[in-house]
């Protein structure tokens, strides 16, 4: 029997859940548009700590994390403009460190982009090791230039490391929207299903997560390798470097 769902930040305030299917820990964001606030970012970090602690406690040699949105329409619609930007230091002290936690997470990670992933939502997806996107609905986009709003160095570095240069240019200077097919063609995501809908994307993401789950046996070496892969991006995300 699969373990019962674990809710974060609490049973009475269900912003997201962690469930398990075999070696795959599934993080499902449950706040409709899944806009980032201090509480939402805290819940994600607590959930990641829970997964990491479980892997260590049970001595799992096969494990992967899969994140998804809980609705048909949104993976995440980015920062909550009122609740997030009204908090002093939110971007530098809360949001970007959360992205870094995902970027360097101690087991393999897959984002299942089930709907729109705008701005902060796209950044969260890009922080994962792999991305699967549904074929028929939703866009990935960084719309800061249209607001207009600056793009902090940590966010820019994350995109720069993860995207081909010409795609990075289109993302940050044009706010280009990528559908599933466009995202796959431009190496923004790793796979899309051959059928429409959320479930085919979810099943494909789970299959990918199960395929890479055995790599978890490398333990702490995974984080060390990721630190070597993304040194500049990680440094900017945790505010250890300045332009």
Residue-range domain boundaries for the chain: 6-237
Model confidence over 64-117: pLDDT tens digits?
A: 999 999 988 999 999 998 888 889 999 999 999 999 999 999 999 999 999 999
Closest CA to 120 of 161, 151, 93: 151
Predicted TM-score of the model (pTM): 0.96
CA 115/CA 136 separation, integer angstroms? 9
**Positions of the chain with pLDDT under 50:** 241-243
Structure token digits, residue 23: 């070696």
- pLDDT attached to residue 242: 44
Read off the DSSP letter of residue 79. Answer: B
- pLDDT attached to residue 2: 66
Model confidence over 47-66: pLDDT tens digits?
A: 999 999 999 999 999 999 99
- pLDDT attached to residue 1: 58
CATH number of the 6-237 domain: 3.90.226.10
- pLDDT attached to residue 149: 87
The residues facing 21 across adjacent strands are 24
- pLDDT attached to residue 169: 97
């Amino acid at each position: 029997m699969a373990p019962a769902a674990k809710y974060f930040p609490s049973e009475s305030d269900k912003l997201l859940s962690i469930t398990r299917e075999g070696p795959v820990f599934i993080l499902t964001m449950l706040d409709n548009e899944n806009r980032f606030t201090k509480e939402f970012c805290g819940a994600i970090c607590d959930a990641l700590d829970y997964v990491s602690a479980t892997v260590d406690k049970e001595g799992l040699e096969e494990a992967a994390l899969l994140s998804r949105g809980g609705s048909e329409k949104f993976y995440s619609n980015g920062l909550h403009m009122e609740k997030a930007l009204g908090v002093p230091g939110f971007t530098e002290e809360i949001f970007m460190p959360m992205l870094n936690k995902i970027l360097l997470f101690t087991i393999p990670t897959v984002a299942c982009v089930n709907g729109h992933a705008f701005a902060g939502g796209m950044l969260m997806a890009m922080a994962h090791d792999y991305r699967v996107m549904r074929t028929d609905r939703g866009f990935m986009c960084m719309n800061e230039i249209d607001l207009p709003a600056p793009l902090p160095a940590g966010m820019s570095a994350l995109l720069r490391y993860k995207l081909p240069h010409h795609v990075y240019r289109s993302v940050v200077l044009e706010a280009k929207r990528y559908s599933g097919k466009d995202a796959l063609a431009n190496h923004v995501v790793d796979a899309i299903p051959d059928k429409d809908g959320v479930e085919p994307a979810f099943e494909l993401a789970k299959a990918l997560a199960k395929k890479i789950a055995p790599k978890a046996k490398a333990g702490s070496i995974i984080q060390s390798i990721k630190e070597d892969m993304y040194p500049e991006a990680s440094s900017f995300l945790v505010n250890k470097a300045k332009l």
